[in-house]
Amino acid sequence: MENAWLIPLFPLVSFLLLLLFGKKLKEASAFVGILATLASLVYSILVLLERLSEPTYKAETVWLTIGDLQLTAGFEVNQLNALMLVIVSLVSFLVHTYSKGYMHGDERIPVFYAYLGLFTFAMLGLVISPNLLQTYIFWELVGVGSFLLIGFYFYKESAKAAAKKAFIMTRIGDVGLLIGMILLFWQTGSFEYDEIFAAVEEGAVSGTMITLTAILIFIGAVGKSGQFPLHTWLPDAMEGPTPVSALIHAATMVAAGVYLVASMFPLFNASETAMLTVAIIGAFTAIFAATIGLVQTDIKRVLAFSTVSQLGYMMLALGSAGYVAGVFHLMTHAFFKALLFLAAGSVIHAVHTQDIEKMGGLWKKLTFTGPLFLIGTLAISGVPLFSGFFSKDEILIAAWAHGNYGLFWLAVIAAFFTAFYMFRLFFMVFSGEARSEMKNVHESPSVMTLPMVVLAVLAVVAGYVNTPWFGSFLGDWLVEGNEALGHGHIAGPGWIMIVATAVSLLGILLAWMMYSKKSISRDWLSSRAPIVYGIVKNKYYIDEIYNQTVVFGAKAISLFLRFIEIFLVEGIVKLTTAAVQALGKTGAKIHSGQVQTYGTIAFVGLAVLMVIFALTGGYL
Amino acid sequence: MSSVPVSAFLALALILFCIGLYGALTKRNTVIVLISIELMLNAVNINLVTFSKYGVNPSITGQVFALFAIAVAAAEAAVGLAILIALYRNRRTVNIDEMNQLKN
Chain B contact probe: residue of A589, A590, A592, A594 with most B CBs at under 10 A: A594
Report whether pLDDT(B40) > 90: yes
CB of B96 within 8 Å of any CB in chain A? yes
Nearest to A211 by CA among A266, A131, A136, A270: A270
Q: Which among A291, A310, A378 has a CA at the least distance from the CA of A343? A: A378
The pLDDT, as a whole number, for residue A611 is 92
Instruction: Identify the architecture of domain B6-92 in CATH.
Output: Orthogonal Bundle (1.10)
Rounded to whole angstroms, the Cα distance separating A120 from A424 reads 33
Given a cut of 60, whether residue B104 has pLDDT beyond it is no
DSSP-assigned letters across all residues of A319-368: HTT-HHHHHHHHHHHHHHHHHHHHHHHHHHHHHS--BGGG----TTT-TT
Confidence of residue B46 (pLDDT cuts 50, 70, 90): very high
Compute the distance between CA of residue A407 and CA of residue A418 in angstroms, rounded to an integer.
Answer: 16
Best B17, B29, B100, B101 member to test A by mutation, with max A CBs in 10 Å, is B100
Q: Is the pLDDT of residue A260 over 60?
A: yes
Find the radius of gyration of the CA atoms of chain A.
Answer: 30
- Give pLDDT, residue A561: 92
Indicate whether B8 pLDDT > 60: yes
Q: Which residue of A has its CA nearest to B104?
A: A593
For residue A48, give the H/E element and its range.
helix A29-53
Q: Write out pLDDT tens, residues A418-438.
A: 888 888 888 888 877 766 566
A592, A600, A603: residue with CB nearest B100:
A592
- Give A506-533 pLDDT, tens digit per residue: 888 888 888 777 777 666 666 677 777 7
Q: Which residues contact A100 (CB under 8 A, 6 or more apart)?
A: A30, A34, A447
Listed in sequence order, the residues at least 6 apart from A137 whose beta carbon sits closer than 8 Å to its beta carbon are none
* Cβ <8 Å between B25 and A596: yes
Instruction: Please check whether residue A534 is in contact with residue A525, taking contact to mean a CB–CB distance below 8 angstroms.
Output: no
Mean pLDDT computed over A243-249: 84
Q: What is the mean pLDDT of chain A?
A: 84
Single out the residue of A311, A298, A309, A385 nearest to residue A348, CA to CA. Answer: A298
Other C-beta atoms lying within 10 Å of the C-beta of residue A345: 27
Q: Would the pLDDT of A131 be above 70? A: yes
| pLDDT at residue B11, rounded to an integer | 94
> Where do the domains of chain B lie?
6-92
Partner-chain contact B100 A596, CB within 8 Å: no
Distance (Å, whole) CA B85 – CA B49: 33
Interface contacts A/B by beta carbons within 8 Å? 24
Q: In this structure, what are the phi and psi dihedrals at residue A235, rounded to the nearest 5 degrees?
A: -60, -40
Give which of A399, A250, A434, A244 is closest to A315, Cα–Cα: A399
Q: What per-residue confidence (pLDDT) applies to B2? A: 61
Four-residue CA torsion sign, A417, A420, A426, A429: negative
For the ranges A269-278, A435-444, A493-502, A553-562, the lowest mean pLDDT is seen at A435-444
Residue B74 has pLDDT above 90, yes or no: yes
Does B14 contact chain A (CB < 8 Å)?
A: no
